[in-house]
Amino acid sequence: MKAKARAHANIALIKYWGKSDENLSLPMNSSLSLTLDAFYTETEVEFTNSINEDVFFLNGVEDKNTLSKISKFLDLFRIARNMNERAIIKTINYVPTAAGLASSASGFAALAAATNKASGLDVNSRELSTFARRGSGSATRSIYGGIVEWQKGINDKTSFAVEIDDASWDIGMVVVIVNREEKKMSSREGMKSTILTSPFYKNWPEDSQKDLKEIKIAIKEKDFEKMGYITERNALKMHATMLGANPPIMYFEPKSILVMQIVHELRDKGIPCFFTMDAGPNVKILCRLSQGEMIKNRLMEDFKEYEIIVTGPGPGVEII
């Protein structure tokens, strides 16, 4: 009744933005991501009859704030297994910085895998991704390594992740932490508000699917520049839907823009690199892994005191 799992974070190249079903966490659009080696979460789950409430430890400290969300998530497995045992959950986030990078993807993927094993439910990876989805949308994609697509589906069973490519053709990311503080607005709230108030949102579900189709062709052809260009364009379009919300949602900070300008400067010099940004100010740069250190060195000229991490593609979730 005890298991431990490790899952890696992922960054979307085609973004998921907006839910069609809040309760089931079904997305308005399919998305695609790169799983990253440098950022991961390890979680141990132990079901036991000796306690009446779940207990959750985050990085060695009991965390009562997140407990209800975790318990609700574990209930999905308890219902599926027809069991009542409570659990002791111990999570360690291996991210080089305290905050700033979403740990919900690796967090819920690791929790799903450990709970799947500890409860004896033992569903396969595809079904496991539907469980991870209920914790956090992006966690759906962290079940697999390399390049992963989350197919939006039409219901709980059909909204799952699939592996697209192992990303072993010199692909990496440079992550620039421009701000470590907690984000001002959660992605959940941001999505809701964008759907309800932004006149620019109505084009998003269909347009992002065109980007998805194009990027999948680029990946198949191993056309890195095309893949990067679509990635950058898609991120900007997602942020455009948010800028149109009322009140406007803006995750850009001056330093985020500076990173983007450096990316363009490098590109003008013939180095293929492309930025993307999520519901926070940190910028992730898709690049050739072999050029990651060189890109980092250029960024260090303007970001001496900042954390800059070069990472390659990461593996899927594993029981450890």
Site for ligand PMV in 172-191 (CB under 6 A): 187-188
Backbone angles phi, psi at 144, to 5 degrees: -110, 160
Closest to ligand PMV by CB, 16 vs 40, is: 16
Asked if residue 12 binds ligand PMV (CB under 6 A), the reply is: yes
Determine which residue in the list 15, 78, 152, 183 makes contact with ligand PMV, applying CB under 6 A. Answer: 15
Backbone angles phi, psi at 132, to 5 degrees: -55, -40
**β-bridge mates for residue 61, sequence order:** 58
CA atoms 9, 201, 207, 276: torsion sign: negative
**β-bridge mates for residue 36, sequence order:** 313
Closest to ligand PMV by CB, 41 vs 119, is: 41
Matching residue, tokens 């933005």: 17
Among candidate residues 271, 270, 296, the one with its CA nearest the CA of residue 283: 296
Q: What mask, x for binding ligand PMV by CB under 6 A, covers residues 22 to 61?
A: ---------x------------------------------
Matching residue, tokens 């898709």: 286
Closest to ligand PMV by CB, 104 vs 129, is: 104
The count of residues interacting with ligand PMV (CB under 6 A) is 12
Determine which residue in the list 4, 16, 55, 146 makes contact with ligand PMV, applying CB under 6 A. Answer: 16
Cα–Cα separations (whole angstroms), residue 20 to 130, 234, 240: 15, 20, 20
Q: What mask, x for binding ligand PMV by CB under 6 A, covers residues 261 to 290?
A: -----------------xx-----------
Backbone angles phi, psi at 26, to 5 degrees: -90, 135
Q: What is the distance between the alpha carbons of residues 16 and 159, in angstroms, rounded to a whole number? A: 13
State in angstroms the smallest separation of the CB of 190 from ligand PMV.
8
Asked if residue 129 binds ligand PMV (CB under 6 A), the reply is: no
State in angstroms the smallest separation of the CB of 118 from ligand PMV.
23
How far is it between the farthest Cα atoms of the chain? 63
Asked if residue 159 binds ligand PMV (CB under 6 A), the reply is: no
Give the binding site for ligand PMV (CB under 6 A): 12, 15-16, 31, 104, 136-138, 187-188, 278-279
